[in-house]
Structure formats: structure tokens, C-alpha cells
Amino acid sequence: MAPTNNSKQREYSRAEVARHDSAESLWVIRGNQVFDLTSFHTDHPGGSDMLMQYAGQDITEAMRDGSIHTHTTQAYRVLKDFCIGEVTADDQQTYAAPPDGRDEMECVRDEAFLDLSRPLFMQMCRSRFSKEFYLQEVHRARHLPQPAVFFANPVLEMLTRTPWWVIPLYWVPIIATILTLGAEYEPPNVMLVGFIFGLVSWTLVEYSIHRFVFHYDENLPEGTLAQVAHFLLHGVHHYLPMDPLRLVMPPVLSTFLGLIILGLMCCIFTPGMVHAVISGLATGYVLYDECHYWLHHGMSPSKYLCKLKTYHLRHHYKDFKAGYGITSDFWDNVFGTQFVTPEC
């Protein structure tokens, strides 16, 4: 688990902190406290390069500078986990008062939700959280340098962990097989039309699942069982958004959802066309899952992709009630679920 505040904090001079200015050892100062961000900088929502600019430096004013990026209380909550000590008394400095007169770290409450050092599933099953408290806490992102543990049972735990490369490895042969079977019913030109229709339709399916299935937050019933289901389906992703092994959907769950969609498609399309449409939808899903992983852990010189990354991470770190589009914000604009105010 990441370092946390404790009563035996060490003291460091500013000169000593300044020596930790590389990716191998990245320290910063914030409000006369010292933070070791070595294990975090690659997961920084603004990208590693942004954080590397301030390696070994005091970031107090930079975090308050809206022209760089507006940091919410959530950002300070994540930062707090990496505190390793304080600046020595003779090296401490006085900072300008924060905008609202209260230091941002004072707004960070102590952890009262789940113990990230123990398996999460049984903690959720034994919890007695109110709906209001659960939704509030599960949408306050936390960071761990390693994947969290869901189950004490190693077999069950393995089923919850999915590397990004498993998705194409699992689904591409299935898509190829479905297309091959469909070619026995329809000519290539008809199959191509159905495939493109399915591929384009995925963007609406993606938006709908994210908004109405993953984020049925307001309609979540009171009770532990409903919270466990919500947590397993999507809540944990908001609680631990940078967990690299839980950014793509496990094949067990995606296959189950895929069979439901297949059943619906069979009621609408004829043989051959249903094969083409399902293949297009499945291809859209694979691209979506890979894109989703990249939005959390990738970097690109492309302005469009960087904008898409900022858009999605805003959904995680600022407003989970908007920005449901992953690969595009098109449907957010159509249905009015785009962010109300522009990003700084």
C-alpha cells in the first residue's frame, strides 16, 4: 500500500528533496510536507510528463494554479497517501492563504470506507453502509501502486484480473469465426454493411451501458447486496481507477453480456446479417476496451486523444454524473450529459 501519514514522520531539507528529481525517485513538497510520488507519476491523470516538470520541487502554488489544472479535494486526498515526512524547521516557508482561507489538506477526511490492505469483497459483503455514504465514498478515487485484492481465494481473485491484451486475444478469434459462419448466408457486400452498422452502433451501446447499467447510482436500492453488485460491476473502477488489471472487462462478464445482446439481435436480424452486426458490435467493444485502458495509462502526441483522455478522467475525478462517452463525446452532446462547465 502507498505510504501514509503517521506520527513518526522524518524531516528532510529542501536540498535533499531536490535531489529526488527523476522517474526512479520522484519527491515533491506541498505545504511543508514531503511526498514520494515515485510509484504514482506514471498514473498521474495529467500524465507523467506534467508531474516530472515539478520533480524535486515545491508544488504548493502549482496545484492551486487554475491555468495549469484545477485540483479538487480528491487530488489532495490521493496525494495525502504518499506523505513520507516534513520539511525541516529551518527550511519551512510561509505560503499565501488558499482561495477559501482553509488549507486544502484540511478538507481531506480520514479514510472510513474500505481497508485496501485486505480483500475487498468480504468487506463489502459485511458492510452496512447507507446508500448515500456508499455512493459518496466509492466515487472518491484512491491509488495503489499494485492491484487491489478482491478475494482471498486465489482462483476467484484470478478471474477478477484481466490484462489489456487478453481482450483481443479472446475476442478476435470469436469475431473471425462468427464472420466466417455468417458468410455462408450472405455475400461479402451485405456482410460488410452489417459489420459497419454494428461497429457504428457500438458507440450508442457503449454510452447506454455506461450510463444506464454501470451508473444506475440514483436508482440503487438501499442494502448491502445492491451495493456489492454495484461495486463489482463498476463501483470498484471509480474507487480504484488506475488499477491496471481492472480497466478492461473480464471475459466471463463480457461473454455473459454478449450473449444477452446476441439474443436480442437474433430477434431483429436474419441469419448472416445477425452474424455481421454482432461481429461489428464485438469489434467496437474490443476497440472500446483497449481505448479505455489507454485513456487511463497511455500518452499520445495526438491532440484529439489527449482531449479524449482529459474528458474521461474528468468523469472519474470531478463529475461522475456526466461524460459517459468513452471513445467519443458524441452521444453526451446528443443526450445532454456533457460536462456543464468547460475544463480549465
- Pairing mode, if any, of strands 33-36 and 25-30? antiparallel
Structural contact between residues 282 and 174, judged by C-beta atoms closer than 8 angstroms: yes
How far, CA to CA in Å, does 26 sit from each of 10, 105, 224?
A: 17, 20, 40
Instruction: End-to-end CA distance of the chain: give it in Å, rounded.
Output: 32
CA 325 to chain centre: 13
Please check whether residue 327 is in contact with residue 206, taking contact to mean a CB–CB distance below 8 angstroms.
yes
Any binding-site annotation on 143?
no
Find out whether 69 is annotated in a ligand binding site.
no
297 is in an annotated binding site: no
Distance CA 127, CA 225 (A): 10
CB 326 within 8 A of CB 288: yes
Q: Is 275 marked within a binding site?
A: no
139 is in an annotated binding site: no
Scanning the structure block, which residue is given the C-alpha cell 516538470? 53
Lookup result for grid cell 486544502: 104
Q: Give binding residues for Zn(2+) as ranges.
A: 210, 215, 234, 237-238, 292, 296, 312, 315-316
Q: Give binding residues as ranges.
A: 44, 71, 210, 215, 234, 237-238, 292, 296, 312, 315-316
Q: Give binding residues for heme as ranges.
A: 44, 71
